Chain A
Amino acid sequence: MVGFFVVAVVVIVVLVIGFTKQPPTVDYSNAQSGQPVDVTLQTVGAYGSAPHPTWVSYLIKDPSTGQWVHTSYFQVPAHTRVNMTIIQYDSGSPLRNQQIGMVTGTAGKVALLNGKPFHVYNSNAGNGVGHTFSIPTLGINVPLVGNNANANLCSAAPCTEKSPHNVLKFSFTSPGSGSYPWQCFVPCGLGFLYGNGGPMQTNGYMAGFMKVVA
């Protein structure tokens, strides 16, 4: 009886620890107040190592160490200009819904693709769009233009700038404090029905939170 009880308690503790485990948060909120914050992300077509080597993923650059962290949680200060840089290492395809081919919610309603501003990207032309960076509650949406699928694409995170890539830059002003879900809207979970399973529904891959602190 006592043994049974002990086993039950141990199982519960292990489960609670497992349940509450969330991806680590990369902290950008230590910048000087009033100064813009530079956030750097990368997307990779295949994460390359366990537990899900075939899944696409975002990575976030830790500002203090310069290392890439496999997570989708980052923290910025409130009411501050956030300069986003996303290095996109994945290929692209025409969008299912071209509505997300449009840049919305950013400063000037534009994003810079390798230095050139654009507002609407025609995903049926060129290399298409690989992912998006979207914060639906703030109306922010930026299509991440894809690379040529036939090029020698990076397939193991973290990728370096030696691999083919597109650089997207855009800015927005962070809102008041809170936890804002952000995600990719391109169905990039290959092998899952409608492409929206697996990495699309797992924290730390194509979905996460932008935490805003005062």
Chain B
Amino acid sequence: MSVAAEGGAVSEGSGAPQGTDEPPRKEASHGWRLFAIWLVLSAIVDPLYYIFAGPHIPPGRMSSTAGGAVFDFNILIVLAIPVMIGVWVYMAYAIIQWRASKGGPEPEGGPLAANNFKIQTSWITITTVLVLFLAGFGTYELVQPEGAGGGQGPNPIWTPTSNTVLPIQVIGQQWKFTYRYPTFGGFETTQLVVPQGVSIAFHVTSLDVIHDFWAYQLGVKADANPNQDNVAFTTPYQLGSFVVRCDELCGIWHGAMYNNGAVVTKDQFEVWAQTTEKALAANTKLLPPFAYTYTPDANGADGGYYPDNVDPYSKVETYGATQPGSG
């Protein structure tokens, strides 16, 4: 749901004569005055925003996708400010200038006050142009940088141009995320460490209900659906730590389902990954082989909700062994 009330249309429109046979000079001056106030205010506020607030808009520019989101946000604000100023200036002007207690002439009725073809068509034209521009701009910003960090499902169509993409699997479960690194023997850990300057493909999936992987400072967000591989790309630029939160209500501990991740240099990452692979080797060999989606084991999968003799419909790689009877 959205409104793109175009401030330009308000002011320009009101600048036009009101369609009376002989537009009195006083009427026209309202329009020009409004237009002038609008133009001056917009011309002041827009650059102020862009110069002073624009660079500090969260989530910052830690990664390619976060930077893209901030750029988009700033462009939208720069377009929104004149619109809002236009409407508010007009409202304030009307409240001050045209209030009944001020006296003033009786409003003129009649068909000319109820309709003004020029204003209506210019309003529609301007909002349409603005909206189509926004849709085109948004599409370009979505397609051009590897899908803008949003989840793209199992077969992403907007992929990074880089040849080396590091896959990291994000497994959502009630109530934590675990991460598997398939290129390092498929170890599974609760720590998320990513290398700087490398394209990363997050393969997000779930072992139970819907979660949502939100790496806030990286500008990555992808739903974790059971039996579904949801891929999102990003390239971290800056070193440091970032927050991962679950962004889809998943039950009692949804609010506590977060952890910190870190962006480290390529060399540090290499060291960390190999150390962790060795440290977790004993546990890794007990895990199911790496796959893009998993079926939770038959018993645990439905917690006894479905009868035991019902096999999962779509069996991919089972997470957890099947067993007779659970406790």
Contacts and interface: CB of A to CB of B under 8 A. Distances in A.
A18 interface: no
A136 B256 contact: yes
Max chain B Cβ within 10 angstroms of own Cβ: one of A95, A104, A122: A95
Contacts of A187: 174, 208, 300, 303
Given A181-B256, A190-B304, A207-B252, A95 B320 contact: yes
Contacts of B188: 97-99
A45 interface: yes
Interface string A189-214: 11111111100111100010000000
Interface string A65-109: 000000000000000000000000011111111110110100000
The size bracket of the interface on B is: 35 or more
Nearest to B252: A201
A113 interface: no
Max chain B Cβ within 10 angstroms of own Cβ: one of A45, A102, A104, A189: A102
Contacts of B321: 94, 124
A133 interface: no
A146 B256 contact: no
Contacts, number: 121
Max chain B Cβ within 10 angstroms of own Cβ: one of A91, A94, A123, A191: A94
Contacts of B212: none
Contacts of B302: 193-195
Classify the secondary structure of B's interface with A. loop
Contact of A194 (B174, B280, B286): B174
Interface residues of A, number: 45
Contacts of A98: 188, 283, 286-287, 320
A96 B300 contact: yes
B174 A196 contact: yes
A99 to B, nearest CB: 5
Interface string A106-139: 0000000000000110111000101000001101
Contacts of A202: 252
A188 B300 CA distance: 8
Nearest to A206: B252
A196 B303 contact: yes
Contacts of A195: 300, 302-304
A201 B251 CA distance: 7
Classify the secondary structure of A's interface with B. loop
A101 B303 contact: no
Contacts of B319: 96-97
Contacts of A104: 190
A149 B325 contact: yes
Nearest to A127: B327
Given A119-B282, A137-B256, A96 B303 contact: no
Contact of A183 (B175, B280, B296, B299): B175
Interface string B296-316: 110111111100000000000
Interface string B257-280: 101000000000000000000001
B287 A99 contact: yes
Given A99-B287, A119-B282, A201-B252, A196 B327 contact: no
Contact of B173 (A91, A94, A97, A128): A97
Contacts of A58: none
B286 A122 contact: yes
A202 B251 CA distance: 10
B296 A93 contact: no
B101 interface: no
B191 to A, nearest CB: 9
A170 interface: no
A185 B326 CA distance: 15
Contact of B253 (A119, A122, A183, A192): A183
B326 A93 contact: yes
Contacts of B176: 136, 185
B116 interface: no
A200 B327 contact: no
A168 to B, nearest CB: 16
Contact of A207 (B173, B253, B257, B323): B253
Nearest to B190: A139
Contacts of B320: 94-98
A146 B300 CA distance: 15
Interface in A157-187: 181, 183, 185, 187
Interface of A: 45, 90-99, 101-102, 104, 119-120, 122-124, 128, 130, 136-137, 139, 146, 149, 181, 183, 185, 187-197, 200-203, 207
Interface of B: 171, 173-176, 178, 188-190, 207-209, 251-253, 256-257, 259, 280, 282-283, 286-287, 296-297, 299-305, 319-321, 323, 325-327
7 contacts: A94-B320, A96-B320, A119-B282, A190-B326, A194-B208, A194-B300, A201-B251
